[in-house]
Amino acid sequence: MYILTCFKVVPDLDKLSGSSWTIDDQLNIETAFVSKMINPYDESALEIALQLSDQITTSGTTAELSAITIGNSQADLYLKSLRALGYKKACRINCSIDLRFNPEYIAALIGAYIKQNNPCDLILMGRQSGEGDNAKTPFITAEIIGWPCIADVLKVDYISPKLISVTNLTDNGILRQTVKLPCLLAVGNAPNSHLRVPTLKTIKTVGNEPARVIEDKNLIKFVKPGQKINGAKLLGLELIDHTRQGIIIEGNSAEEKALLLYNNYLKGWLADNGL
């Protein structure tokens, strides 16, 4: 089974204090000075692919894992780690344009990459990334390549070379279904999906071979004429004030504090809400 996982390297926005937010003339938030990480949803997708690969190997068949990312050379360190973890092909599509609100362009590049002789039976990617929070790339990609797409995936299990079991979150609860490949999975808040860590020994076996890089312009030319490749135009950015007030309840015992909490805050709120 050929499994392709798409991931994105993003700034760790938790490390950007509110007071450090600066916006330049091109409406970019300055994140160059913040440490980077794999987008957490993508990290889950990468780990789920490895777990699936483990299951396939245990069943006696073979899985070939590939990973692609779109961006600058900051992703190369992560590509090396992925190769050490068992991703046979790990490739970066070099791109310098602003992708924050352009899932159409990202999906077009992924679609073109697959068409360029990169066969796969299953594609995994995170449902969205913190930079643009568009949550559109999986759906647009599925549309471009004409595959079914399942959203908010939590778990994937191997059944046979052409069948997998997919557990995902729906509006009505958690659904487990048997899915025929090919298929694209948008991974959500998946439990037990922190990406495993390669050992120094396996990293050494990868060596210092540079990451495989493809220029976006060499891929975009394969996009079907008429296909939309431009996303939303960014007109402005505004910091949303998320500050909340807090009060520390003083009391001599837990019982006294609980009573104060109930009488002064909960009682009225419960009554207002008919509870």
Residues that bind other proteins (CB under 8 A): 15-17, 20, 30, 32-36, 74, 77, 192-201
User: CB of 252: closest distance to other proteins in angstroms?
Assistant: 12
CB of 43 to other proteins, least distance (A): 11
Q: Which is nearer to other proteins, 26 or 208 (CB)?
A: 208
If the CB atoms of residues 15 and 162 are measured against other proteins, the closer one turns out to be: 15
User: Which residue's CB is nearer to other proteins, number 30 or number 54?
Assistant: 30
Residues 5/185, Cβ–Cβ less than 8 Å: no
Give the pairing of strands 212-215 and 122-126: unpaired
User: Given the structure tokens 């590939």, which residue do they identify?
Assistant: 66
**How many angstroms separate the CA atoms of 264 and 258, rounded?**
10
Indicate the residue among 200 and 239 with the shorter CB distance to other proteins: 200
CB of 15 vs other proteins, minimal distance in Å: 5
Cα angle at 67 between 65 and 73, to 5 degrees?
150
Q: How many Cβ atoms sit within 10 Å of the Cβ of residue 227?
A: 15
CB of 200 to other proteins, least distance (A): 5
- Identify residue 28 by its one-letter amino acid code: N
What's the min distance (Å) between Cβ of 130 and other proteins?
16
CB nearer to other proteins: give 17 or 172. Answer: 17
Question: At its nearest, how many Å lie between other proteins and the CB of residue 13?
Answer: 11
* Minimum CB distance to other proteins smaller for 16 or for 234: 16
Minimum distance between the CB of residue 254 and other proteins, rounded to whole angstroms?
A: 10
